């Protein structure tokens, strides 16, 4: 039986920060995944009130392929987690990038659904295949809508690139306010043909990712004259 795609949902909304829809976003992700035909290929683990000391423990415990953070970001390109009871603690991009790089043998995608996290996502994408972040403040409803559309597409068997494009299109289609600035960052050297999260069962379905055109030149004789024919062969690359 193929390994399931494990999603680790982390959220933090300390009392000293503004209220955001962390519970609704978690529910939206779970419900949208269930809409797709490949819903049984995913496992979702949810942890709230996350503190910095929890991150490595949860990465070791669940060995996730996707890490999704829902919470607050700071203009200084930090995320805000829990600290002492009721208080907040910021985490810088260097520390997070170092931690995720240690677990890149299973973590493939990190989603920061929080304001001002594009620089952090770009830094993490140096060691992780995919990272999502925002360059400006994002609205609460936009964050929930984006997350729902992203995971719905994954549940329908789309790749990360396709799912991200689908989520962006959804925000544009619904004209969701304060939805600008969300970006996908990809590790340098990662193949354009990468189809993570590989939810298609290779034994029963074939999913062409790239089409390579190969030309063959044939030479035949007709009525004493040599004629050159140029044919094409298509080779599909399977996930």
Same domain, 37 and 119: yes
Q: Which residues contact 158 (CB under 8 A, 6 or more apart)?
A: 166
Token representation of residue 76? 């200084």
Same domain, 112 and 230: no
194 lies in some domain: no
pLDDT on residue 215: 40
Same domain, 30 and 119: yes
- Domain of residue 231 covers 208-238
CATH number at 65 reads 3.40.50.1460
The CA distance from 188 to 11, in Å, is: 28
Q: What is the pTM of this model?
A: 0.83
What's the Rg (C-alpha) of the chain? 22
Per residue of the chain (239 residues), give pLDDT as tens.
678 999 999 999 988 888 889 999 999 999 999 999 999 999 999 999 999 999 999 999 999 999 999 999 988 889 999 987 778 899 999 999 999 999 999 999 999 999 999 999 999 999 999 999 999 999 999 999 999 999 999 999 999 999 999 999 999 998 998 889 999 999 999 999 999 998 755 444 444 445 444 444 444 445 555 545 445 443 333 33
Strands (E), the chain: 5-11, 42-47, 66-70, 72-74, 78-82, 88-92, 109-113, 130-134, 182-186, 208-222, 225-238
CA angle, 185 as apex, 180 and 187 as ends, to 5°?
175
């Amino acid at each position: 039986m193929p390994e399931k795609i494990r999603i680790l949902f982390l959220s933090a909304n300390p009392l000293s920060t503004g209220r955001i829809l962390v519970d609704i976003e978690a529910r939206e992700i779970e419900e949208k995944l269930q809409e797709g035909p490949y819903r049984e290929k995913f496992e979702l683990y949810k942890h709230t009130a996350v503190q910095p000391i929890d991150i490595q423990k949860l990465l070791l415990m669940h060995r996730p392929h996707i890490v999704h953070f829902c919470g607050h970001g700071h203009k200084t390109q930090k995320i805000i987690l829990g600290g002492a009871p009721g208080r907040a603690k910021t985490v810088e991009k260097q520390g997070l990038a170092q931690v995720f790089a240690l677990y890149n043998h299973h973590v493939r995608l990190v989603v920061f659904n929080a304001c001002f996290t594009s620089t952090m996502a770009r830094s993490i994408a140096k060691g992780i295949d995919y990272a999502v972040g925002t360059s400006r403040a994002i609205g609460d409803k936009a964050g929930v809508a984006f997350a729902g559309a992203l995971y719905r597409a994954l549940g329908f068997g789309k790749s990360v690139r396709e799912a991200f494009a689908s989520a962006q299109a959804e925000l544009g289609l619904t004209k969701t306010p304060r939805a600008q600035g969300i970006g996908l960052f990809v590790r340098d050297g990662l193949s354009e043909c990468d189809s993570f999260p590989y939810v298609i069962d290779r034994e029963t379905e074939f999913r062409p990712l790239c089409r390579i055109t190969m030309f063959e030149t044939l030479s035949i004789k007709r009525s004493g004259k040599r004629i050159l024919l140029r044919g094409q062969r298509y080779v599909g690359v399977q996930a």
